[in-house]
Structure 1
Amino acid sequence: MFVLVGLGNPGPQYSLNRHNVGFMVVDTIAQSYPFNPFKTKFNAFIAEGKLGPHKVLLCKPITFMNRSGQALGALMNFYKIPVENLYVVHDDLDLTFGRLKLKQGGGSGGHNGLTSLDQSIGKDYWRLRIGIGHPGHASAVSNYVLSNFSGHEQKELIPMLTTIAELTPDLFGSDAGLWLNQYHQRLKP
């Protein structure tokens, strides 16, 4: 079994925020494949289903971003999921809007949601980093990540989310470079 977690903040006021792109990915996948409806368990919304041959749990922690590790630690322990079967989807300021990176392990890069996960379950999980761009100044970061995507970005966001969802069945156990190449090739203008 694999767990695919989208990081974000719960509540409608955050739903279109840049910081919630992880939730957006998970919601798009849940709508694109035959997943059970989300239910609340372990301080998270969880939906079970299959992607290709893989049984997958989709997860959206409702503990707020900075305490995501609380929900994930409980879920991973209950289902006995090895950390290398965890894929975390999150926003990344250091990548330009629309760029993706996929890697196993690493540091938090200042992302408080990842810091919480690292403290709870360790660092050996997979990270699907989704570029949201940077506001230019460190003092503007907090307001930037908690602001909605611009109108132009929202138009580009739908094909991004759709492409990620289409490629997700091939994500688990695949070569990260090949998977990313497929994504970026599909979104070329």
Structure 2
Amino acid sequence: MTKEPRGAVARHTYWQSLPHGERQGVWCIQINQPGWPSGGLNDVEETEEHQPTVLARRTPEGKQQRCGACLGCDWEGPDHRRLNDAIEDANDHAFPDWRNMPSVLPPPPYGDRQRWLENVAKAYPPGWFQRGGPIITMREESNGLHWAMRAPGGGYDIASPHQRPKKEVASTAVQDSLLDQLR
């Protein structure tokens, strides 16, 4: 058995080189995570900057394993069963200060998305989203799941531990309060 390489790009390239029947138990970039090639058949490109992603594999027992990884270097985090844990590890590596960023309400379903983007950008460090940094959003519908490539710059949308208020009146007040703080 050939020893697997380290790093998200190298592991995914190795996984792609194997015949379909030999991929069981081999790490690859998890589908729908940053770096996953369109259709899964194209080359993965390494980035020059640290960019978080998630590797996945299925054990011989059929259990799913995941680990945070980086598209810019060969860093890999510990194994996890939960996707959120792997995503958080990867963001800890690429954006060590992300846990100190403010939680914000998600963009309004109908309304001025550009104004929302401008206000959120003021709450985060300059260039944060351009570098692919995550956003932390208060959502009631997410069940606490983190979403890949949903932040303004293509980074992760991380579910805040604080849920969005369920009452419309309270939600409007929180939104107005947030906007006032950002001005």
TM-score using structure 1 length: 0.24
Structure having the higher helix fraction is 1
Higher strand proportion: 1
Structure of greater Rg? 2
Scaled by the length of structure 2, the TM-score of the pair is 0.25
